[in-house]
Structure formats: C-alpha cells, structure tokens
Amino acid sequence: MDMQKRIERALETALKHTTAGGQPPKIAAALRYAVFPGGARVRPRLCLAVAMACGDDNPQAADAAATAIEFLHCASLVHDDMPCFDNADTRRGKPSVHAAYSEPLALLAGDALIIAAFETIARECVATPHLIAPLTGTVARAVGMPHGLVAGQAWESEDDVPLAEYHRAKTASLFTGAAMAGAIAAGADPQIWRAMGDRLGAAYQVADDLRDFAASATELGKPVGQDSLNARPNAVAAGGLDETVARLHDMVSQTVAAVPDCPGAPVLRDLIAGEAKRLMPKSLASHAA
C-alpha cells in the first residue's frame, strides 16, 4: 500500500475510536477538523519510512506509532494556535480549530488527541505487547517534559533561552521520536536512528524559520512573521537570509548522510530530499540552488 494511504487509513481508524457513538458532536467535528485534511504528514511518514527500512516486521505497531506521532503533532498545533499562545486564526489555509469551533473546544480537542495518541499505541499493539512500553516511552519523551515538544514551547516563557536546547525540544524531538518509534515498531535498535532524526528535525526548524521570515501567508496557509511578532528566536533574524539558506542545504546533506545503511535507505533519502524541496519557500527557490 502507498505510504500516504496507509497513514490516512491508520489515522482514520484511530479517530473513529474517539467518536464511536454517543459523544458530544461539536468536539467530534473539531477532532476531525484538526486531523483531516492534514499537512504533509512528514512525521508519520518518517516513522513509517524508518519502520519499512528496518523490515516493517509489525506493521500494526508501526501504524500505531505513526498515528500517535501525528495526533500529538496535531494537538500541538491546535494548542499552539490558541489566543494565549500564537493567536493564529488560520492554519493550513483555513480557520484554526479555536477560530472554527471556540477556545474551549480547541483546548479539549488537543487534550483528547494527546490521550488518543497513547491509547492508540496500547490498543493496536495487542499482538506485540512488548512494544507498548518502549513506544510509549519514546513518544512521551519526544513530546513531554523535560526535553520534548512541550518543554520547547515552555522555553518561550523564559527570559534566558538556550537556543540549541530550545530548537531541539520544540522541533527536532518529535522527528527523532518518529524515527526511533519506527525502528522500535519494526523490532530494530532505535539508537542508530537518533542522529538522523536529530538532524532532520534541526533542518526542519531552520526551514520553518525561513518560511516564517520569507514566505507569503498564501503560500504558507498561516500567518507569517509570527516569530518576530512573538519575540521568538529565528535563525534568519540571527544569521541573515543567504547564510541561512546555505545552512539549510548543508543540514539536509548531513541528514541524508546520517541515514544508516539498510535496504530501505534509498526511500528514506528520497523522502528527505523531497521534504527539503517542499520546505524551501518558493520565493527563495533560486537562492543557493
């Protein structure tokens, strides 16, 4: 099955469990709205690509891990867009969840997605119960305290921000978690995938800074200039545009080089190269080709 179809099917199956009947209808609609249609699904694709590169021994566990990763990503977007955070009224070219459904429902939808992420791992690993603890731990570390996504967002409330730790926690941690969870699901050693996840995550953060700085709102589907508006560190503001574009190209090469040798390596390298192209704002495509 095509990887994208496999991800959408897994997300659909997991979402159906949260709306199995008798639930309040608005939050059910808000949950669907938060998950479908998705963005590029780059994190679950990374998770599945690593699982496949490792032999995909337990596809149901890999699907569960990919779903958990994407649910947690969607939850972070929903909460991040709320007025007390980025106050972003649009996301992926349409009203963000709180704008479409209200703040209370956005808060609850994010909570429900976090819960559903862990529930999905426990439910779908019925044939591989030994994978539940390592998958749960890996995914929880990627998003929780002290060094996951939530910690990254919490650094924005501090006066003294260690930049590398901030970026690693806010963006790279979920990429690293996705790669390692994919390996775990396939019964492989997750540690050899850590470096690639870290580097891809770091590249993604720089790309995101570039997009926030240089892309148009239409291209991005969400408000631009948010970093400057929210006084958040931004690589372009710190290092200049040309230098940042060159740095991103370097980081992508490093990521490709960090893919361990394995039968699925070519697919992964293609995924990374494709991502790198997709992430570069169109207005910068001619820079440092």
Residues in contact with a copy of itself by the rule CB under 8 A = 18-28, 31, 75, 79, 82-85, 102-105, 107-108, 110-112, 114-116, 118-119, 121-123, 125-126, 129-130, 132-133, 136-137, 140-141, 143-148, 150-151, 153-158, 165
Nearer to a copy of itself, 128 or 255 (CB): 128
Contacts of 12 (CB under 8 A, 6+ apart): 36
Integer Cα distance of 12 and 91 in angstroms: 20
Residue 132 vs 259, nearer CB to a copy of itself: 132
- Torsion of the alpha carbons at 225, 229, 234 and 240, rounded to the nearest 10: 60
Residue whose CB is less far from a copy of itself, 130 or 282: 130
Q: Could you give the angle at the alpha carbon of 69 between the alpha carbons of 236 and 76, nearest 5°?
A: 55
Of 119, 109, 111, 113, which is closest to residue 27 (Cα–Cα)?
109
Residue 29 or 288 with smaller CB distance to a copy of itself: 29
**Which CB sits closer to a copy of itself, 145 or 257?**
145
CB of 107 to a copy of itself, least distance (A): 6
The CB-of-31 to a copy of itself minimum distance in angstroms stands at 7
Spatial distance between the Cα atoms of 100 and 80, rounded to a whole number of angstroms: 15
Closest approach of a copy of itself to the CB of residue 145, in Å: 4
Q: Residues for the chain: how many in total?
A: 289
Residue type, 15: L
Cα-based distances in Å from 24 to 19, 28, 108, 248 = 9, 7, 12, 45
Q: How far is the CB of 149 from a copy of itself (least distance, A)?
A: 9
- 137, two tokens: 């731990």
**14: its two tokens:** 């997991």
Q: How far is the CB of 94 from a copy of itself (least distance, A)?
A: 20
Q: How far is the CB of 40 from a copy of itself (least distance, A)?
A: 23
Q: By C-beta, is 26 or 269 nearer to a copy of itself?
A: 26
